[in-house]
Structure 1
Amino acid sequence: MGTIDIQYRFCQNETLLHEIDIHLDPVNLDRVGIDTSALPDWTHLENEQCVHCPLMKDAHPHCPVALGLAEMIQNFDGIVSFDEIDLEVITEERRVTQHTTAQRAISSLLGLLMATSGCPHTAFFKPMARFHLPLASEENTIYRAASMYLLAQFFLKKEGLTSDPGLHGLRKIYENMHIVNRHIAKRLKSATVTDSSVNAIVLLDSFTNTLPYVIEDHLDEISYLFSAYHTENYQQLLQESED
């Protein structure tokens, strides 16, 4: 089984600025093939280490998230947040293109890199990384995050483990991600000249920070999409499946 490959192409005025190839292990979804030959000081675990980080420097001398971002950050140090970018993202299943701002394009890439970095706090987002959807809207992301979490609960229940259909754990996952984003932003401030990468983290975090408080309201807003499940026809389907 080969790697799962995702390519990000950043263009400006029809000129290719950067082409970034991401390769994921097909089993654990960790990123592979990262260049670790010359890591900067800001990647060290104890440099702005998250207050809730469970890792120890003897086993993990470098922050997994910072490690995954180090080689990419250099590419965008000459780009300003609101520079206009033509982004193209290529996976085996689809090709997505959009004209957008640099910070929004970079934010999409950062979300993928963080989820597949090996950080214990970002690992919960690996299912979304496997089915990566670049530049997703807030509503789309809430739908995907809630669906991912509830499917995880299905598997836990199937295995006889404690499940959480009330989404309480999802709120905590996002609260922990807010802490990660805050500390990564501090690392990047000392590592970059322009603001595009830092603001990309800020943009990513704006959603992360608010989701624990608004998730139920947002899900209520899309409940109308599931009206077919409230019909007699669906009840009949359930009865037939039990027969």
Structure 2
Amino acid sequence: METIDIAYVFHQEKHSSQRFEFQIDADTLTISNPPDSPLPEWAALEFHQCSHCPLRSDASPYCPVAACLVDVVSGLDNIVSHDEMDVEVIMPERNVSRHTTAQRGISSMLGLLFATSGCPHTAFLKPMARFHLPFASEQDTIFRATGMYLLAQYFRKKEGHSTDLELDGLTELYDNLHVLNAMMAKRIRSATTTDSSVNAVILLDMFTNLMPFVIEEKLEDIHHLFRSYLMGK
């Protein structure tokens, strides 16, 4: 099985470095090295289960997203949200490093894990996970998310499916993701003594919650970038 190997390394002066390595199946784009069982109670599917979750505990005893976060949450539980650190991301194509706060570094890592967890409500993010962009800005995410969704419509049309060029479906996907983020924050809050991982989810959700408004307003901010496409026929 071919994998895409990505590592996040957190360097902080008063703590030893923490390294998290993820192997992502190159075909299915799901994490292939989840934590070993038994998992903690907060990772059980029915523990703060999302109201729109299509999974059943008899077939999936653990929440896919929570299962992927177990080692991360326990490994970073001694770190406070605003602790400053150097975060290094090692990927096949490039290495990225940034001096930032714990919550921003963890948030970037959680974005990758949510997308590759196997959760039905995060599956739409897999193309962005394949081309993971650590520490993405709001404009980065707007461009990548809408571009990904519109490329998906191209492939849907090629295969004879209905298409959505108004981005209505993208709004619905992000609405569902907002529900998931809220419940995931509750799970993590019950499992930690510090706030870094919880606040990392909240940071992720800030954009998720604004996505419907972003589609309406913020896309106009990048309209000028496409002038060369809008000239003539």
TM-score, length-normalised on structure 1? 0.93
Which structure has the greater CA radius of gyration? Answer: 1
Deviation at 1:15, TM superposition (A): 6.7
CA distance in 1, matches of 2:13, 2:211: 35
SS in 2 for 1:190: helix
- Within a 5 Å distance, the mapping from 1:10-49 to structure 2 comes to 10-13=10-13, 16-49=16-49
CA distance in 2, matches of 1:16, 1:121: 35
CA distance in 1, matches of 2:172, 2:111: 18
SS in 1 for 2:5: strand
Structure 1 gaps of 5+ residues are 236-243
User: Aligned partner of 2:21: which letter?
Assistant: D
Query: After superposition, what is the alpha-carbon deviation per residue over 1:140-183, rounded to whole angstroms, capped at 9, x for unaligned?
Result: 10100000000000000010001111100000000000000000
User: Aligned partner of 2:7: which letter?
Assistant: Q
Comparing 196-205 and 213-222, the one that deviates more: 213-222
CA distance in 1, matches of 2:195, 2:46: 23
Q: Give the share of equivalent positions with the same residue, in percent.
A: 55
Structure 2 gaps of 5+ residues are none
Comparing 210-219 and 171-180, the one that deviates more: 210-219
CA distance in 2, matches of 1:85, 1:212: 33
CA distance in 1, matches of 2:38, 2:129: 27
SS in 1 for 2:191: coil
RMSD: 1.2
CA distance in 1, matches of 2:140, 2:16: 29
Query: After superposition, what is the alpha-carbon deviation per residue over 1:115-152, rounded to whole angstroms, capped at 9, x for unaligned?
Result: 00000000000000000000000011010000000000
Deviation at 1:54, TM superposition (A): 0.4
CA distance in 2, matches of 1:166, 1:230: 18
1:123: which partner in 2? 123
Deviation at 1:14, TM superposition (A): 9.3
Distance 1:76-1:123 versus aligned 2 partners, 3 A rule: same
SS in 2 for 1:31: coil
CA distance in 1, matches of 2:216, 2:134: 24
Query: How many residues get paired?
Result: 233
2:207: which partner in 1? 207
- Within a 5 Å distance, the mapping from 1:96-107 to structure 2 comes to 96-107=96-107
- Within a 5 Å distance, the mapping from 1:59-98 to structure 2 comes to 59-98=59-98
Do the aligned partners of 1:42 and 1:187 also contact (CA within 8 Å) in 2? yes
2:138: which partner in 1? 138
